[in-house]
Chain A
Amino acid sequence: MWGYYVALALRSSARSKALTALVIVLLAFGVSACMVSYAVFRATTSDPIPSRSAHLYVPQIDNVGPSRTWQGQPPNMLSYTDAVALWQAHKARRQTLLYPTKWQVQSDNRSVPAMSKTGDAVTADFFPMFDVPFRFGSGWAANDDAQHANVAVISRRLNEKLFSGRNSVGQEIRLDGKVFRIAGVLDDWNPKPRFYDIGNLSVGDAFDDAGDIYIPFTRASDMKKNSRYANCPTATGNADTTDWNAYLYSECDRIGAWVELATPADVKRYRDYLHNYAGQQQRLGRFSWPPNVRLRNLMDWMAYLRVTPKASSLSMLVSASFLLIVLVNVVGLMLARFMRRAPEVGIRRALGASRAAVYRQFLIEGATVGVIGGVLGVVLTLLGIWGSGTLFEPKIARLVHVDASLIMLTVLLAIAATVASALYPTWRAAQTQPAWQIKINS
């Protein structure tokens, strides 16, 4: 029976070629515009670390007061005072402080000139927390943090440059003129977005490549390494770094913090702890406002900071509305197509076809058109993604890829969309009164 309905659908499509072609082309364009945008959107909003993201949280503490916060939200970064307090309290299973910064790199290899490289000042937990893969060696021990040790972890890329890719663990490099021992070399690791740093960077830098050098947070502070950005509650918002110690313990927000919390109970406990901490600071007179703290999960944090590029979310929005308009259009065209066949329905009904049979026939007809639209849609989607390289910035376009699920989704969306838009026209067709329809046609 199903095969017969499909054959009927094809035959009726052949009879009204122009109308069918119009429906198929509209569908294909609507669906493929949606899927191309979705492919980009998916690439820019996807979970950068699926294995861990559910347990990673960002604590925020308002240390500048309601007059300096935006919409009552605590600043994105912590002050050094608060960051170190949270870290030393050790209330989570793992925790790290971090900030992006820049180093001048030299090695004993004289043939490699001094380079300026970026990276992060982090703590020992950074590597296990974010599941950072190592090629050689490992991260440093918690003890190294406490001792402000001269240890470093470098990227595979930098290792290629300095040591031609050999195992360089135990070797020495000079960062800003100071000698550091290499504890580990990372394997390829370039999460997109660079999620661990997004609170410390501007939104436009969220899709930049990961840095090349990681050293202990405590050591970086000793070396007076400033963060890339600092928000200070001064008139200009700029930092005054003349007196490093005064700057360090000022209310300038410049440190990012992450905690790993395994269970909802842990999350609740940590949230309470943050609240208590801010309350304690209020009692001490440092904050003259009630506790204003947040604890956001990684995915919420990305959504809150609006990491997704504007071009990507706008195109998703516009292509979704395009598909909606196409569907309204298709409903109208399907209605025209089915109503034209009222005599045929009348005869089928008179010969004993039930309403359900009419429903089945027309919905299958809708689905058949949907499949054809979907196949054309896949072709257009592939073309669109191929062309998206010239539409989006290279660092975004590079993330976009086609996979089986995208192609499946394209076809499914096309079928679902056509069947949905065939529902009302089918209902109208099924309402055909057999007797009346036959009478007026005779």
Chain B
Amino acid sequence: MALTRTFMQLRPVVVALGRHKVATALIVLQVALTLAVASNALFIVATRIVHMSRATGTDEAHLFVIRNKWTIGQNTSRIDANIRTDLDALRHVEGVRDASSSNAAPLLYAYSVSPIPTRVKLVPDQTTRPQFAMLSFADAHTIDTLGVSLVAGRNFRPDEVAAIGPDDKQAAPVVIVTRSLADKLFPGSSALGKTIYLPDGPSTIIGILARLQGPLSWTRSSDGDNVLIPARHVDPQGVMYLVRTDSTAMKPVIAATLKALQERGSVRIIDPKDDVITLYQARERIYASDRSVTILMSIVCGLLLSATAGGIVGLSSFWVGQRRKQIGIRRSLGATRGDILCYFHAENLLIVGGGIALGIVLAILTNLGLMKAFYPMSRMPLYVPFLGALLLWLLGQLAVWGPARHAAKVPPVVAIRAE
């Protein structure tokens, strides 16, 4: 009933709007621009939040990383011996649950000693573009240190772990891969036991990890694609030590580990300020710019929506003021307060509707433009501007509610009163 009444009222609403072409056009334009900007901004906020809140798959709360650089003049066998001694010392520090060495650490691409991007082939003479992945050195303790879980297969055995320097060209006979990489390499079948070809030769997949984010943190879909090879990183540049603690109070454990390493301090350089970082700090640092984008966009979105609401309130109040006489006449001819309320709500619905139609087109165009200008920006699904449209409709109705109630209070007697 109310619906048909509203519908019946639409014609005079449209006719009346025709008298205020410019003011109407201004609100339509404003709603359209607001929808275009707000839906894109909220979409960016949502994608960034999803991006930032991805779990690394590791026990982040108990992990810290030491970037250990070797002093000049030590050969690879010395460095290998150093790493073995260090790991043994680290694992005996009070409060340390486990420790392992690697070339890189989760989330810390630029910070790591030598992150290694690699290409994985399925056959040695593959002509199609090989799958991209990050290569990490690991040992029998790595899975326990990181706190990642093995969904299939087994861990490395200590006797499989070899010393590999930056110039060594030996292939790892066995590897562990993450599930996301396994699914990309062997979609639909189990990767366990299959052979893959890294640049230095063939390797058999002996284990699959549920999830492990490697050193990368900014790609659209490759951050979780990692290969672990059983090796110690004997590189004169240095090595990364990953340490998992028993409790989340890491400060004393970090101090104790540094002290343990400092006992043979002449072989290494560790800046206690720059070369030790917890995964929690790593996350803060890596996603700092995503965080600022998110906060900024949210603030501006909030301002934007309030500005639009403010504008609607302002113009509607003005219109109500202008039409007092007209409202009075309608009231004296039998229109109820509800009818007047309905009139203004319907009018707002129409204007905002016009703005939304234009705004959805603008929103999609804006998204396409942004995709060109900023990486990684993904295509906005269509439901986002539609959700935004709903939000604006609601906002419009809320904004017009005050002025409409004001209008409904106009007494019929205004019709015969000269103003």
Give, as a whole number of angstroms, the nearest-CB distance from A289 to chain B. Answer: 21
Query: Are A328 and B72 in contact (CB-based, < 8 A)?
Result: no
Q: A104-B71, A177-B73 are in contact. Are A328 and B271 (CB under 8 A)?
A: no
Q: A104-B269, A235-B199 are in contact. Are A332 and B315 (CB under 8 A)?
A: yes
Query: Are A314 and B33 in contact (CB-based, < 8 A)?
Result: no
Is A336 positioned at the interface, with any CB of B under 8 Å from its CB? Answer: yes
Selected contact of B311 from candidates A309, A315, A332, CB within 8 Å: A332
Prevailing SS type, chain A contact patch: helix
Query: Are A311 and B296 in contact (CB-based, < 8 A)?
Result: yes
- CB under 8 Å from chain B, chain A span 189-243: 202, 204-205, 235-238, 240-242
Query: Are B269 and A114 in contact (CB-based, < 8 A)?
Result: yes
Q: A235-B119, A242-B167, A329-B307 are in contact. Are A324 and B33 (CB under 8 A)?
A: yes
Q: Which of A29, A177, A313, A336 has the most CB of B within 10 A?
A: A336
Query: Are A332 and B26 in contact (CB-based, < 8 A)?
Result: yes
In the complex, the chain A residue whose C-beta lies closest to that of B318 is A336
Q: How many residues of B contact A (CB 8 A)?
A: 52
| Cα distance A108–B34 in the bound complex, in angstroms | 65
Chain B residue contacts of A15, Cβ below 8 A: none
Query: Are B292 and A325 in contact (CB-based, < 8 A)?
Result: no
- CB under 8 Å from chain A, chain B span 266-296: 269, 271, 288-289, 292-293, 295-296
Selected contact of B307 from candidates A29, A393, A424, CB within 8 Å: A29
In the complex, the chain A residue whose C-beta lies closest to that of B116 is A238
Q: A104-B72, A116-B69, A336-B318 are in contact. Are A326 and B22 (CB under 8 A)?
A: no
Query: Are B311 and A329 in contact (CB-based, < 8 A)?
Result: yes
Is B314 positioned at the interface, with any CB of A under 8 Å from its CB? Answer: yes
Q: A202-B110, A332-B311, A332-B314 are in contact. Are A114 and B44 (CB under 8 A)?
A: no
Selected contact of B110 from candidates A177, A204, A235, CB within 8 Å: A204
Q: Beta-carbon contacts of B52-76 to A below 8 Å, as 1s and 0s?
A: 0000000000000000010111000
| Cα distance A289–B29 in the bound complex, in angstroms | 51
Query: Are B293 and A310 in contact (CB-based, < 8 A)?
Result: yes
Q: A176-B72, A238-B117 are in contact. Are A325 and B307 (CB under 8 A)?
A: yes
Give, as a whole number of angstroms, the nearest-CB distance from B123 to chain A. Answer: 14
Q: Beta-carbon contacts of A153-192 to B below 8 Å, as 1s and 0s?
A: 0000000000000000000000011000000000000000
Query: Are B295 and A391 in contact (CB-based, < 8 A)?
Result: yes
Q: Which of B29, B44, B265 has the most CB of A within 10 A?
A: B29
Query: Are A318 and B310 in contact (CB-based, < 8 A)?
Result: no
Query: Are A325 and B34 in contact (CB-based, < 8 A)?
Result: yes
Query: Are B130 and A314 in contact (CB-based, < 8 A)?
Result: no
Is B297 positioned at the interface, with any CB of A under 8 Å from its CB? Answer: yes
Is B103 positioned at the interface, with any CB of A under 8 Å from its CB? Answer: no
| Cα distance A204–B375 in the bound complex, in angstroms | 13
Chain A residue contacts of B292, Cβ below 8 A: 311, 391-393
| Cα distance A240–B169 in the bound complex, in angstroms | 10
Is B383 positioned at the interface, with any CB of A under 8 Å from its CB? Answer: no
- CB under 8 Å from chain B, chain A span 291-343: 309-311, 313-315, 318-319, 321-322, 324-326, 328-329, 331-333, 335-337, 339-340
Is B37 positioned at the interface, with any CB of A under 8 Å from its CB? Answer: yes
Query: Are A116 and B300 in contact (CB-based, < 8 A)?
Result: no
Chain A residue contacts of B297, Cβ below 8 A: 314-315, 318
| Cα distance A176–B70 in the bound complex, in angstroms | 11
Chain B residue contacts of A104, Cβ below 8 A: 69, 71-72, 269
Is B321 positioned at the interface, with any CB of A under 8 Å from its CB? Answer: yes
Q: Which of A29, A104, A116 has the most CB of B within 10 A?
A: A116
Q: A22-B310, A104-B71 are in contact. Are A236 and B30 (CB under 8 A)?
A: no
Q: Which of A30, A310, A319 has the most CB of B within 10 A?
A: A310
| Cα distance A311–B37 in the bound complex, in angstroms | 16
- CB under 8 Å from chain A, chain B span 303-337: 303-304, 307-308, 310-311, 313-315, 317-318, 321-322
Chain A residue contacts of B269, Cβ below 8 A: 104, 113-116
Is A26 positioned at the interface, with any CB of B under 8 Å from its CB? Answer: yes
Query: Are B374 and A310 in contact (CB-based, < 8 A)?
Result: yes
Query: Are A19 and B318 in contact (CB-based, < 8 A)?
Result: yes
Is B104 positioned at the interface, with any CB of A under 8 Å from its CB? Answer: no
In the complex, the chain B residue whose C-beta lies closest to that of A228 is B110
Query: Are A309 and B30 in contact (CB-based, < 8 A)?
Result: no
Is A33 positioned at the interface, with any CB of B under 8 Å from its CB? Answer: yes
Chain B residue contacts of A18, Cβ below 8 A: 314, 317
Q: A311-B293, A325-B33 are in contact. Are A19 and B314 (CB under 8 A)?
A: yes
Selected contact of A205 from candidates B110, B199, B289, B307, CB within 8 Å: B110
| Cα distance A391–B44 in the bound complex, in angstroms | 16
| Cα distance A311–B48 in the bound complex, in angstroms | 12
Query: Are A237 and B117 in contact (CB-based, < 8 A)?
Result: yes
Prevailing SS type, chain B contact patch: helix
Is B254 positioned at the interface, with any CB of A under 8 Å from its CB? Answer: no
Give, as a whole number of angstroms, the nearest-CB distance from A180 to chain B. Answer: 14
In the complex, the chain A residue whose C-beta lies closest to that of B293 is A311
Give, as a whole number of angstroms, the nearest-CB distance from B173 to chain A. Answer: 20
Chain B residue contacts of A393, Cβ below 8 A: 288-289, 292
Chain A residue contacts of B311, Cβ below 8 A: 22, 26, 328-329, 332-333
Chain A residue contacts of B119, Cβ below 8 A: 235-236
Chain A residue contacts of B99, Cβ below 8 A: none
| Cα distance A236–B133 in the bound complex, in angstroms | 10
Give, as a whole number of angstroms, the nearest-CB distance from B293 to chain A. Answer: 5
Q: A116-B269, A321-B33, A322-B304 are in contact. Are A391 and B296 (CB under 8 A)?
A: yes
Query: Are A333 and B71 in contact (CB-based, < 8 A)?
Result: no
| Cα distance A25–B167 in the bound complex, in angstroms | 65
Q: A19-B318, A242-B167, A340-B318 are in contact. Are A318 and B71 (CB under 8 A)?
A: no
Chain B residue contacts of A176, Cβ below 8 A: 72
Is B166 positioned at the interface, with any CB of A under 8 Å from its CB? Answer: yes
Query: Are A325 and B308 in contact (CB-based, < 8 A)?
Result: yes
Query: Are B300 and A33 in contact (CB-based, < 8 A)?
Result: yes
Give, as a whole number of angstroms, the nearest-CB distance from B97 to chain A. Answer: 29
Query: Are B303 and A29 in contact (CB-based, < 8 A)?
Result: yes
Query: Are B289 and A309 in contact (CB-based, < 8 A)?
Result: yes
| Cα distance A391–B167 in the bound complex, in angstroms | 43
Chain B residue contacts of A177, Cβ below 8 A: 72-73
Give, as a whole number of angstroms, the nearest-CB distance from A103 to chain B. Answer: 9
Query: Are B374 and A236 in contact (CB-based, < 8 A)?
Result: no
Chain A residue contacts of B36, Cβ below 8 A: 321
In the complex, the chain B residue whose C-beta lies closest to that of A337 is B318
Given contacts A22-B313, A238-B118, A318-B297, 17 further A-B contacts (CB under 8 A): A26-B310, A29-B303, A30-B307, A33-B303, A104-B269, A113-B269, A116-B271, A176-B72, A241-B167, A242-B167, A313-B373, A318-B300, A322-B37, A324-B33, A328-B33, A329-B311, A391-B296
Q: Which A residues contact B (CB, under 8 angstroms)? A: 18-19, 22, 25-26, 29-30, 33, 104, 113-116, 176-177, 202, 204-205, 235-238, 240-242, 309-311, 313-315, 318-319, 321-322, 324-326, 328-329, 331-333, 335-337, 339-340, 391-393, 424, 428
Query: 17 A-B residue contacts at CB 8 Å?
Result: A18-B314, A19-B314, A19-B317, A205-B110, A236-B117, A314-B293, A315-B293, A315-B297, A322-B307, A325-B33, A326-B307, A329-B314, A332-B23, A332-B311, A335-B26, A391-B292, A393-B292
A-B complex: 8 closest residue pairs judged by Cβ atoms? A336-B318, A329-B311, A332-B26, A393-B288, A242-B167, A177-B72, A311-B292, A328-B30
